[in-house]
Amino acid sequence: MWTNEIEWDTTTITVMDDEAGEEDVVIEMSDKHVDIRQFNNTLQKYDLITLTPKMMLELIEAFQHPEGMFMSELRRPQQ
């Protein structure tokens, strides 16, 4: 199960474990960064990973490729 919250400059996705075995994963995305966080009960704080938007897109794209090394090109639409 997940939720999407879209605001003017940030999108927040919260992914929840349907069986309540793991803490929620929160992904906060903007034009400049992508933060992924999950509460760590052992340390009593959030674990945080920060990616660029391109890194996040490549992470998603990686699930569609076989073993190997790949490179992508991020293109912005022409206006």
pLDDT in tens, 5-41: 999 999 999 999 999 999 999 999 999 999 999 999 9
Is the confidence at residue 75, as pLDDT, over 80? no
Q: How confident is the model at residue 3 (pLDDT cuts 50, 70, 90)?
A: very high
Distances (CA, A) of 66 to 20, 61, 70, 72: 31, 11, 10, 15
Specify the pLDDT at position 72. 82
Q: What is the mean pLDDT of residues 54-76?
A: 87
